[in-house]
Amino acid sequence: MAQRCANENEGRAVKRFGARLREAIASRGPLCVGVDPHPSLLASWGLADDVDGLTRFSEIVIEAVASRAAAVKPQSAFFERFGTKGVAVLESTIRQLHAAGAIVVLDVKRGDIGSTAAAYADAYLADGAPLAADAITASPYLGVGALRPMIDLAVHNGRGVFVLARTSNPEGTSIQRAVVDGARTVAQLVVDEISQVNTGVDPVGDIGVVLGATVGGASVDLAGFNGPILLPGLGVQGGRPEDLCGVLGDGPVVALASYSRQVLSSGPSVAALRGAADRANAECASVLKITN
């Protein structure tokens, strides 16, 4: 799959997502900051729980971290709850983040089959789409193969997909750690299938997996996994920077350490947000041995 898409890119000036992410982490560190405008956060910032508050929240986060974090991860649901006006704020947020040089990972956790999966791909991964991000999150629980329209379009357009494998929420454990073929867990099956997509891609594949920072060591075997890792669950959910190596083991170094509420709770001061983000970035970079 990856090789076919790579051939389609011949003659086009498309830089692969994996390579771009690797460079961003090398220059800015591994931090990914979530843009999660919870009603409680809006209130604590002195903002109304409406579109104006949403807009101001996004503007402050962009000003604080867009030019210094490797990636920024808007959570689509907190924009969608305001309807079309909220989605318009999300479109604007994505544009501004790109203008500041941040990689945008849109947290939408989409997953479907056939033409619907292709429509999701067009919505978030097609060049020129209003909500086009550098990467999206996707759910594999209709089958990893059902994500092919998203994966193929992402690779073709120099974008990426992070597929849920072992998530940080406790409710996922019973499914993700279920054994499906006498040996592998569901989470391991997802990792193994995505590994095949990235085989032979240099320097790193474009299709990643999501591994929660709270899941503990050896949750999956990442030996030979040639793709990026998104590590949510740091901060309020209980994950700590020192937990990251236990989750990754001797696996890939192209890893994004994702913080949301712990960093965002320092707002609305831009300086305080930057300070919190910089501290989180430095702590995770030290654990992952990333120097910039």
- Is residue 6 in a domain? yes
Measured distance CA(49)–CA(46) in Å, rounded: 10
| Confidence (pLDDT) at 38 | 95
Q: Is 109 annotated as catalytic?
A: yes
Is residue 291, in this structure, part of any structural domain at all? no
pLDDT of res. 4: 32
> What total of structural domains would you count in the chain?
1
Would residue 41 count as lying in a domain? yes
User: Is 246 inside any structural domain?
Assistant: yes
The b-or-e profile of 80-100 (16+ CB within 10 A means b, else e) is: eebeeebeebbebbbebbbee
Q: What kind and span of H or E run contains 105?
A: strand 103-110
pLDDT tens figures, 26-55: 999 999 999 999 999 999 999 999 999 999
What pLDDT score was predicted for residue 9? 46
- Check residue 197 and give its pLDDT: 95
In a domain, 218, yes or no: yes
pLDDT of residue 214: 82
Q: Which element (helix H / strand E) includes 255?
A: strand 255-259
Kindly report the CATH number assigned to the domain that includes residue 137: 3.20.20.70
In a domain, 232, yes or no: yes
In a domain, 85, yes or no: yes
Single out the catalytic residue among 15, 73, 85, 109.
109
- Assigned token pair, 286: 């030290």
List Cα–Cα distances, 125 to 50, 53, 108, 118, 239, in angstroms. Answer: 28, 28, 12, 10, 30
pLDDT one digit per residue (tens) for the chain, 292 residues: 333 344 344 445 689 999 999 999 999 999 999 999 999 999 999 999 999 999 999 999 999 999 999 999 999 999 999 999 999 999 999 999 999 999 999 999 999 999 999 999 999 999 999 999 999 999 999 999 999 999 999 999 999 999 999 998 889 989 998 998 888 999 999 999 999 999 999 999 999 999 998 876 667 899 889 999 999 988 877 788 888 888 888 766 799 999 999 999 999 999 999 999 999 999 999 998 876 6
Question: What is the model's pLDDT at position 45?
Answer: 98
Query: What pLDDT, on the 0 to 100 scale, is given for residue 249?
Result: 80
Residue 54 located in a structural domain = yes
Q: Residue 111 sits in which domain range?
A: 2-285
Give phi and psi for 248, each to the nearest 5.
-85, -25
Angle subtended by helix axes 148-156 and 114-125, to nearest 10: 30
